[in-house]
């Protein structure tokens, strides 16, 4: 509420003490002016490119790996799954320097590749665990019936399991969307060119440039950055809650 109120105030109203919650007059022009003082549209476009790639990568690859751990039998499956879960205990900062060195050597610094390629490789063990738990709750007779009808393993995964796993997939997609949209540390490390900044990094850059001249511009940009997440959750909340409730029925 304070963010929305501040985004609609003049600089003089922002400095008033005690604070006034309802701006008089309401400065809707702040939302227009912020596009002139900073390339907000470019920041939003860059963020959307990364988010779409990350969500598609996380949903496709993590569900594929989760299917292998839950619906197929192969030697060492459980041991390999425990090894996968053990990577959750490794902090991101421990891997930061080696990853930066590798990305720098292959020329990925100042590109979107360090931010979009890892999700395309199923790198999130939490998502794999979440999807695996959901898939293990589905009856095995469904897959057996599809095999009797001549379906291949990939066909069962794509045509039978994936539609049934829609609630869990929605949870993964929403978590990945929020994580990628709000990601500040990754773009800060790997992106140097301002033309490639994401919305989180762009707002931080605005704070250093306009924080003392017009704080309302920063709050207006912040409101616009939060709006897509609110809208997405509003439309996906039923599927999201259903996926959370059903995940983990069978260990």
| Token pair of 80 as six digits | 């390999």
Express as a percent the part of the chain with pLDDT over 90: 32
Mean predicted confidence (pLDDT) in 78-92: 89
- pTM equals 0.84
Which residues have CB under 8 Å from 180's CB, separation 6+? 47, 50, 51, 54, 55, 115, 119
Is the pLDDT at 195 greater than 80? The verdict is yes
Phi, psi values for residue 209, rounded to 5°: -95, -40
The 10s digit of each residue's pLDDT in 161-189 is 888 888 889 889 989 999 999 999 999 99
Cβ burial of 234 (10 Å; 0-12, 13-18, 19+) is exposed
Give the closest residue to 58 by CA, choosing from 118, 107, 8, 132: 118
Q: How confident is the model at residue 249 (pLDDT cuts 50, 70, 90)?
A: very low
Q: How far is CA 240 from the centre of its chain?
A: 14
pLDDT given at position 211: 59
Let me know: does 66 contact 107? Beta carbons within 8 Å.
Answer: no
Q: For the beta carbon of residue 240, count every other beta carbon within 10 angstroms.
A: 18
Q: Taking a C-beta distance cutoff of 8 angstroms, is the pair 62, 212 a contact?
A: no
Question: By the 8 A CB rule, do 40 and 221 touch?
Answer: yes
pLDDT by residue (tens digit) across 7-37?
A: 888 888 888 788 788 888 888 888 998 898 8
Before 18, cis peptide (omega within 30)? yes
Q: How confident is the model at residue 199 (pLDDT cuts 50, 70, 90)?
A: very high
- 94-123 pLDDT, tens per residue? 888 999 999 999 999 999 999 999 888 877
Model confidence at 251: pLDDT above 60:
no
């Amino acid at each position: 509420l304070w963010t929305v109120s501040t985004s609609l105030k003049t600089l003089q109203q922002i400095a008033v003490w005690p604070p006034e919650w309802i701006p008089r007059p309401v400065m809707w022009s702040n939302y227009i002016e912020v596009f002139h003082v900073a390339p907000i549209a470019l920041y939003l476009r860059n963020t959307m490119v990364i988010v779409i790639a990350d969500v598609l990568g996380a949903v496709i690859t993590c569900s594929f790996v989760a299917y292998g751990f839950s619906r197929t039998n192969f030697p060492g499956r459980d041991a390999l799954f425990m090894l996968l879960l053990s990577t959750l205990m490794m902090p991101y900062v421990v891997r930061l320097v080696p990853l930066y060195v590798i990305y720098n050597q292959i020329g990925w610094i100042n590109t979107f590749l360090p931010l979009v390629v890892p999700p395309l490789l199923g790198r999130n063990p939490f998502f794999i665990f979440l999807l695996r738990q959901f898939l293990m709750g589905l009856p095995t007779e469904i897959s057996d019936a599809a095999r009797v009808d001549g379906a291949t393993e990939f066909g069962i995964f794509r045509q039978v399991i994936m539609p049934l796993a829609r609630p869990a997939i929605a949870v993964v997609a929403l978590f990945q969307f929020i994580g990628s949209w709000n990601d500040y540390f990754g773009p800060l490390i790997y992106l140097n060119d301002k033309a490639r900044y994401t919305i989180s990094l762009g707002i931080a850059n605005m704070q250093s440039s306009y924080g003392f001249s017009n704080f309302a511009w920063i709050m207006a940009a912040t409101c616009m950055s939060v709006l897509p997440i609110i809208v997405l959750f509003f439309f996906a909340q039923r599927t999201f809650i259903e996926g959370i409730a059903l995940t983990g029925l069978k260990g």
